[in-house]
Structure 1
Amino acid sequence: MAWIVLVISGLFEAVWATALGKSEGFTKLSPTIVFGVGLVISMAGLAYAMRTLPIGTAYAVWVGIGATLTVGYAMLTGTESASLVKILLILGIVGCVVGLKVLH
């Protein structure tokens, strides 16, 4: 159960990180609200998962999921440029996250 919650909280990390960028310094209301809700859900899930998973592993997986989805979304929407090197590096992060899960 902790792994499922951790993955979901990683998804919400990508939500709040993207909303933070779109809030333009908390000057836009809707993205600011999405940021706040996403942040609370993400942190609560991370805290729950860390009750049974090793802290370092849980945090690395959470960050890896959030970073991968955030940059993937930015590349898909054109907010950030895409390149083969970036994609390969992101796939490296995914591989490391999967490796941490397999080793646990």
Structure 2
Amino acid sequence: MASAHRFPPLLAAVGLAFAGAAQAQAQSNDPSFRLTNNSSLALNEIYVSSSDVNSWGPDRLGDRTLGSGEAYVIRLPLGQCINDIRVVYTNGQANERRQVNTCNLTDIVFP
């Protein structure tokens, strides 16, 4: 009966180790992410810039479009975690998200 009491602390320690590893992974220094278009319209433009910058910079899609249900990987410099994201649909409407900590996620879905 006494040995049964030894396992819960061991299991708790293992659980904490896994939780710590998951938290460390979630707080990565890599701000790159996958943007998925979940609207019925294609995206003509995607802009991502550091929230510290007052301009959007270049269109990440260039001459491509991102169709409904498609995904596109955005690569950003290590450490550039707080970003503003803007997408422009084929009808000209835009959708923005500001102050997104992209180091804490791997996927962003618009709209």
Q: Shared fold (TM-score greater than 0.5)?
A: no
- CA radius of gyration, larger in: 2
Larger relative helix fraction: 1
TM-score, normalising length from structure 2?
A: 0.23
Using the size of structure 1 for normalisation, the TM-score is 0.24
